[in-house]
Amino acid sequence: MSIEERLVQTPVIPLVQASDPAVAVRTAQALLDGGLGVIEVVMRTPEALDCLAAIAAEVPDAVVGAGTVLSAEQAGAALAAGSAFLVSPGLDRDVVAVSKEAGIPIYPGVATPTEVQAAWNLGLRTLKFFPASLVGGAPMLKALGSVFRGVKFIPTGGVSTSNLADFLALDAVLACGGSWLTPADAIAAGRYQDITALAAQAVAIARATTD
């Protein structure tokens, strides 16, 4: 099953930011226990690649990718660590080229029609919409979807339980990403059951919206 096929079934991508591979693994397992199996590890800590590699090795039922990929060098390092997909906050041709050469999906961030068109002309049909809540939210996505009919979007940035259903109700939305599923205080306190509960809540909202 492809990543996008998995996202059709469960259209939520939790973001994991960690400095300790053991914590990253426990967080990923808690998310998986709650029903979310496509996980993005953001490249925002020096240990992020180690965390990604640990999840890939120790949580084999999850599909783990790298987020906040800013350069071709980062993209290559993430792929070497076992990343199954790449996500970037913006559209960079060199990062796209690395992913295409490796045959790995990439979801670059876009916020305007010009950026969507540029991505479309690079052959990309699934894009991250970022930062979703600050660049027009669901109304903006509805407008983009009416023009770029073959494109699917993954809104990220400001997505939460309060607006998840609004985004998922749009035909142009494949899935939503967000860090609300992995609150730092819960992880720091070792309350991994809270992570599982948040994941299960997101799954329930998704099913109620898309079924």
Domain annotation for the chain: domains and CATH numbers: 3-204 (3.20.20.70)
Residues 90-104: b if buried by 16+ CB within 10 A, e if exposed: ebbeebbebbeeeeb
Query: For 79-127, how does the pLDDT look when each residue is reduced to its tens digit (9 = 90+)?
Result: 999 999 999 999 999 999 999 999 999 999 999 999 999 999 999 999 9
Q: How far apart are CA 86 and CA 40, in angstroms?
A: 8
The alpha-carbon radius of gyration of the chain (Å, integer) is: 16
Give mean pLDDT, residues 57-61.
Answer: 97
Q: Name the pairing type of β-strands 106-110 and 176-178.
A: unpaired
Residue 47 annotated among the catalytic residues of the structure: no
What gap in Å lies between CA 105 and CA 3, rounded to an integer? 9
Instruction: Please report the beta strands in the chain, taking only residues with DSSP state E, as ranges in sequence order.
Output: 12-16, 38-42, 63-67, 86-88, 106-110, 126-129, 152-155, 176-178
CA separation for the pair 164, 174 (Å, rounded): 12
pLDDT tens profile 135-182? 999 999 999 999 999 999 999 999 999 999 999 999 999 999 999 999
Check residue 31 and give its pLDDT.
Answer: 98
Query: Which residue is catalytic, options 4, 128, 142, 152?
Result: 128
How do residues 18-37 score in pLDDT, each as one tens digit? 999 999 999 999 999 999 99
The rounded distance, in Å, linking the Cα atoms of 122 and 100 is: 10
Percent of the chain residues topping a pLDDT of 90: 98
SS3 125: coil
Q: Cβ distance 16 to 38 under 8 Å?
A: no
Q: Is the pLDDT of residue 210 over 90?
A: no
* Active-site residue, from 4, 40, 58, 115: 40
Lookup: tokens for 67? 């987020």
**pTM (2 decimals)?**
0.97
User: Nearest Cα to 149, choosing from 137, 159, 160, 141?
Assistant: 141
